[in-house]
Amino acid sequence: MKRTIVSLVAVTALSLAGCSGSKDAPASSDTVSQSSSSESSGPASGSDDEGDLDDEGDSDDEGDSDDLPDTLDTSRLLEGAELTNYRMSIEAESSEGETIRATAEVVVNPASSAGHDTHVVAEMDNDQAVEVMIIGEDYYVKVSTPIDGKTWVKGPIPTDAAGVGLGVDALTQMVTELVGSKSLSKVGEEDGLVKYEHGETYVWVDGNGRLAKIKGGDADGKGVVTFSDWGGDFTITPPPASEVMEQP
């Protein structure tokens, strides 16, 4: 199920690729992600529960099954959505038993070419952990071994990767790769959410039809993605300058 986290992998890859530059690059000013507390017309969820490959949905959001359609098309889950602040957790397991767990925060930033900033923390079975921030046009990656006493490396996002992140297009791709394109049937309410299913594919939405959690899999593995804090008032703050080594 590695493709279900393609956006997180892309963020990590571009960050690690920039860690071999010169240590003498001129400093650039740090920017802080802009927070947004406005309501969004896109998907939202009030759930703070992280994904669990064995659990099938839990939230305090009040679902109202009568107001929602009897069928749900997975290819249209994010149709018409506008990017807003949100948090996401992912747990994926391959058919070989390898697992990856990741959390992400996304904050709207009109000053960024991508339109948003991203903070990702991922953990793999081999005890390898990766922490990456993309803020404005810069990336930050936390290194396992300090370099000249610095625990973070900062550099500009490569031109050909400036749009990488977890915007609406990336979310749409992630959903498609996780659950495919199919029509799900409403099966009732569960833990405050309205539940839809088709075979081994499950989708939970709140009473307003906003995406809260998805669970699915195929021959390559299975995974769960949980969304929370849509439209929340939070920021992504870069590491202290004293802990950062600049890259060109």
- Domain topology for 2-246: outer membrane lipoprotein receptor (LolB), chain A (2.50.20)
Residue 236: pLDDT above 90? yes
| Percent of the chain's residues with pLDDT above 90 | 15
Going 98 to 122 to 51 to 202, the CA torsion angle's sign is negative
Write out the E strands in the chain. Answer: 71-73, 86-94, 99-108, 116-124, 129-135, 138-147, 150-156, 183-190, 193-198, 201-205, 211-218, 221-228, 244-246
The pLDDT value given to residue 147: 87
* Between 218 and 109, the higher pLDDT residue: 109
C-beta of residue 47 within 8 angstroms of C-beta of residue 88:
no
Q: How far is CA 211 from CA 57, 78, 228, in A?
A: 12, 8, 9
pLDDT digits (tens, 9 = 90+) for 83-102: 889 898 988 887 777 888 88
- What's the pLDDT score for residue 29? 33
Would you list the domain boundaries of the chain? 2-246
Parallel/antiparallel/unpaired status of strands 244-246 and 150-156: parallel
- The pLDDT of residue 14 is 46
Run of H or E residues at 182: none
pTM for the structure as a whole: 0.74
216-228 burial, b if ≥16 CB within 10 A, otherwise e? bbbebbbbbbbbb
Q: What is the pLDDT of residues 158-214, one digit of tens each?
A: 765 545 567 787 778 777 777 778 888 998 888 888 899 888 889 988 777 778 898
- Tell me, what's the pLDDT at 135? 92
Beta-carbon count within 10 A of 174 CB: 23
